[in-house]
């Protein structure tokens, strides 16, 4: 198993050196990193796996903690650490369920209260009510990610999201974006998103897109909202940039996802395994 993984890494490294496309290189980079992680996993002892699971749990990275515990119990079912691993796994699963309940549908006074916490804008032409989280900054000179909900009367709500990049250094001319939510990778390509919009604002360069969520993007927003750490990497024609999603951005996503489901939207496929 280890030899096969090492061979794959060598082949990928060779391919990596032969590629000229930055986009292809980024894809290969992700594959290599995943293989390195898998190889490192093969070398861990039961005690090391349990220790890492505990560290992830303490840091509230529940998905990573669960992965380590399941790996321990699968590879070393009779190890001395297996009893502690099962106890911790139950705690992890309980916390995962608790997190999922953050997005349980609201009704009555609870729904009214969360609606009052939103900024509501009505579009007369489309007869649509749009809801934005009050804490969600929409400053054009900030690097930010936020979501918002739109709904016509007696219809299923729409979930949209925006990613904005701002810099005073130089244009990125973004071609695609890589989002890493606790190791879960999402690739957002310009061709699928539509052309990135650009403008000069306050002496800097702004690049952004705004679109309605696909089912996979709804899952992506859920993973970001419940993650311990999410990184956004902007891949441009000239260079790339990277940042970490803030806790306030994640809290805003949690409230918007809760509202979306409360108004009748579906968060299918977003349950943590």
- With a CB cutoff of 8 Å and minimum separation 6, the contacts of 42 are 1, 2, 5
Angle separating helix axes 247-262 and 215-225, nearest 10 degrees: 130
| Confidence band for 169, pLDDT divided at 50, 70 and 90 | confident
- Report how far residue 165's alpha carbon sits from residue 209's, in angstroms, rounded to the nearest whole number: 9
pLDDT value of position 271: 42
Q: Do 242 and 230 form a contact (C-beta atoms < 8 A)?
A: no
pLDDT, one tens digit per residue, over 84-143 is: 999 999 988 888 776 665 555 555 676 777 788 799 999 999 899 999 998 776 778 889
| Confidence band for 38, pLDDT divided at 50, 70 and 90 | low
3-state secondary structure of 122: strand
| Confidence band for 26, pLDDT divided at 50, 70 and 90 | low
How many residues make up the chain in this entry?
273
3-state secondary structure of 201: strand
Q: How many CB atoms lie within 10 A of CB 106?
A: 17
pLDDT, one tens digit per residue, over 209-225 is: 999 999 899 999 999 99
pLDDT tops 90 at residue 37 = no
* Category of 222 on φ-ψ map: left (φ > 0), alpha (ψ -120 to 50) or beta: alpha
Q: Output the DSSP codes for 63-117.
A: HHHHHHHHHHHHH-TTSTTHHHHHHHHHHHHHHHHHHHGGG----HHHHHHHHHT
Mean pLDDT for all residues in the chain = 81
Lowest mean pLDDT among 6-20, 42-56, 164-178: 6-20
| Confidence band for 20, pLDDT divided at 50, 70 and 90 | low
As a dihedral over the C-alpha atoms of residue 19, residue 207, residue 137, residue 105, rounded to 10 degrees, the angle is: -60
Helix (H) or strand (E) holding 175: strand 174-181
Percent of the chain surpassing pLDDT 90: 37
Backbone angles phi, psi at 209, to 5 degrees: -140, 160
């Amino acid at each position: 198993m280890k030899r096969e993984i090492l061979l794959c890494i060598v082949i990928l490294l060779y391919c990596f050196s032969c590629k000229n496309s930055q986009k292809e290189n980024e894809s290969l980079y992700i594959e290599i990193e995943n293989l390195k992680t898998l190889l490192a996993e093969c070398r861990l002892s039961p005690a090391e796996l349990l220790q890492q699971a505990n560290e992830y749990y303490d840091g509230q990275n529940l998905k990573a903690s669960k992965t380590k515990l399941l790996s321990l119990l699968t590879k070393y079912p009779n190890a001395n650490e297996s009893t502690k691993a099962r106890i911790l796994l139950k705690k992890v699963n309980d916390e995962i369920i608790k997190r999922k309940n953050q997005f349980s549908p609201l009704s009555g006074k609870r729904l009214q209260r969360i609606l009052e916490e939103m900024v509501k804008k009505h579009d007369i032409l489309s007869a649509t009510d749009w809801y934005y989280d009050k804490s969600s900054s929409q400053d054009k000179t900030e690097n930010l990610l936020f979501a918002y909900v739109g709904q016509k009367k007696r219809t299923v709500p729409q979930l949209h999201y925006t990613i904005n990049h701002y810099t005073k250094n130089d244009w990125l001319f973004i071609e695609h974006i890589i989002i890493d939510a606790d190791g879960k990778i999402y690739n957002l390509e310009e061709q699928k998103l539509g052309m990135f919009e650009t403008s000069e604002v306050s002496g800097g360069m702004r690049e952004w897109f705004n679109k309605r969520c696909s089912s996979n993007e709804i899952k992506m927003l859920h993973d970001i909202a419940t993650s311990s750490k999410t990184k956004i990497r902007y891949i441009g024609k000239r260079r790339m940039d990277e940042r970490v999603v803030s806790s306030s951005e994640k809290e805003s996503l949690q409230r918007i996802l809760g509202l979306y489901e409360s108004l009748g939207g579906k968060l299918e496929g977003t349950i943590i395994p």
